[in-house]
Structure 1
Amino acid sequence: MPITIPKQLPAGELLKQEKIFVMDEERATSQDIRPLRILVVNLMPQKEKTELQLLRLLGNTPLQVDITFLHTETYVSKNVSKNHLDTFYKTFPQVKNEKFDGMIVTGAPVEQMEFEQVEYWSEMQDILDWAKEHVTSSMHICWGAQAALYHYYGIDKQQLPAKCFGIFDHIVTDPTVNLARGFNDLFPAPHSRHTGVSKEDIEAHDEISILSYSDEVGPFIVLSKDAKNIMITGHLEYDAGTLQEEYDRDSAKGLDIDIPKNYFPNDDATLNPPNTWRSHTHLLFSNWLNYYVYQQTPFEWK
């Protein structure tokens, strides 16, 4: 089944070229079906790239998914046009009286700041509090995961001695959990962050558990016991070339950055990196939409 997106969203044409079933809002309204309503809180600077990455994954399931994009009202990104935001995005006051089956909170380039120093932190707190009663299940990615762990469970992030940057293997702690259905016991995933969360802090909390972790880079998938919140500390949604773009960008700025680990063939930055995590990315999103959203959400919100 298709994802439903605004008719002129630039990502739509790219998705069609990739043979992903996309339906515009006009056609969707003619169908007698109750689609899943997913709110995407897009905090990434290059919003159009993130739109494409997430829509590609949300459109790869048998479920019809209706997407609403949200940007912060208290901070407006400088890397996307005002026209794009005005046309395709809403702000929190515009959706706060609505109910959504699922919500995705992306990463953000603010991880080295204290949460309270982030310009839109108060707004993020309002959104996270609102989601408790207005969203069936939420997926939080990278900084979004750190924000959820801090706001909901009081677990703070920690500065790492060096940037966690590259592709790392992760262990599944319990393959019987629905979110991990179909996962290999060991699977790769990208990370790009300067901060992390403590495995011991998570294990000491009764309301959450670690579903996947890396011996090298720590907790990866953290799941709340009520399945309302899924925290992903890395970036399974990244394209094959995303880490390369980050490496080239920072190298061009003269920053002291190491080559991404386990990424380029033979650690040769002139060679194209393969995507070794794609299958688990699709499994994660389809499992979330099926078991934690579709099978849990009410047919009619009250």
Structure 2
Amino acid sequence: MPIKLPATLPAYDVLTREGVMVMSEDQAARQDIRPLRIGLLNLMPKKIQTETQFARLIGATPLQIEFSLIRMTDHETKNTAAQHMESFYRPFEEVEATGEKFDGLIITGAPIEHLPFEDVTYWDELTRVFDWTQSHVQSTFGVCWGGMAMIHHFHGVKKHMLDAKLFGCFRHMNLAQESPYLRGFSDDLVMPVSRWTEMRRDEIEAAGLPILLHSDEVGPALVEDPEHRALYVFNHFEYDSGTLNEEYQRDLKSVQVEGAEISVPVNYFPGDDPTQRPPNRWRSHAHLLYGNWINEIYQSTPYDMNAIGA
């Protein structure tokens, strides 16, 4: 089954060209089936790129997916056209007021790691989102800063600033081969990392949360929170092949302004040569993880959506 997207959403054409099965809302209406409702609370500045990356992953399963785009109510993005936001996104305040429910919700990262959580302008509303998921979402997936924010809100686990940015492709170990979320995973794997903060293994374990993927170099990567029906991933399986390069080129330009030292992403370019095309070595595990997540939602979510969170 395909993922249901508005035919005018940029991701529709991108994924169609890639061979991902997509269908318009008109086509979906002709099928007598209840699709899984998956929401994306998109906190990233490049909204179109991010929504395409996640639609690609959740649209690769055999189930029909209805994809909904959500934004913070009063936060205005500077990097995405207002027309795009008006056409495809709904503010959380509106979603909350309707009382509608979701089988799954993805909460993305945001480039605000340097700020204490409580200093983020939309923190109060975001904590409302976290609490709302407990009664209106079957399973929530917090990504990078979004995952750090969730684990901090629900368990008080702190994020710690680093002296240097963790940037590149790092090897991770599979610590929970029996986990349904890691079904089909190899014993170790490569994952893109791009962050200035870390969550520490001892503090996560002290909170009683199982760590599923871990790296000796960059710390915990995937954490399960059964009590809150949530997963937290602190790195970026969703990244395209060239996303780290785009960030590297952006950082190089910022050097001229801020004078910061910029390092080549670790283990990313062949021979650490930025003129070479970087290979994608995480795509298969990215599809496995999000496919397994969708499968677990399908196995557990009630047919009657009103029963979600009951």
Question: Normalization by structure 1: what TM-score?
Answer: 0.98
Matched, 1:161 2:166: no
Deviations 1:187-239 (A, max 9, x none): 00000000011110001112x21011000000000001347110000000001
Contact residue 143 and residue 232 of structure 2 kept, 8 A: yes
**Aligned pair count?**
300
Residues 88-97 or 137-146, more deviating: 88-97
User: Deviation of residue 7 (structure 1)?
Assistant: 2.1
Partner residue, 2:178: 176
Structure 1 match to 2:289 = 284
Q: Which ranges in structure 2 are unaligned for 5 or more consecutive residues?
A: none
Please name the residue that 1:140 is paired with.
Answer: 142
CA distance in 1, matches of 2:238, 2:305: 29
- TM-score after normalising by structure 2: 0.95
Which structure 2 residues correspond to residues 70-219 of structure 1 after superposition, within 5 A?
70-96=70-96, 97-206=99-208, 208-219=209-220
Write 1 or 2 for the structure with the bigger share of helix: 2
Contact in 1 for aligned 2:134/2:228 (Cα 8 Å): no
Q: 1:299 aligns with which of 275, 297, 303?
A: 303
Counterpart of 1:47 in structure 2 is 47
Q: Which runs of 5+ in 1 are unaligned?
A: none
| Cα separation, 2, equivalents of 1:261 and 1:58 | 28
CA distance in 2, matches of 1:161, 1:82: 36
Partner of 2:266: helix, strand, or coil?
Answer: coil
Q: Please tell me the root mean square deviation across aligned C-alpha atoms, in Å.
A: 0.9
Amino acid at match of 1:59: G
What are the equivalent positions in structure 2 for 1:29-44 lying under 5 Å apart? 29-44=29-44
Which residue of 1 is the match for residue 248 of structure 2? 247
Give the % identical residues.
46
**Structure 1: which 4+ aligned runs deviate by more than 3 Å?**
none
CA distance in structure 1 between the partners assigned to 2:117 and 2:81 by the alignment: 26
Distance in 1 (CA, whole Å) between partners of 2:176 and 2:10 is 39
Q: Take 1:228 and 1:190, find their aligned partners in 2: how far apart are those partners? A: 25
Q: Which amino acid aligns with 1:258?
A: S
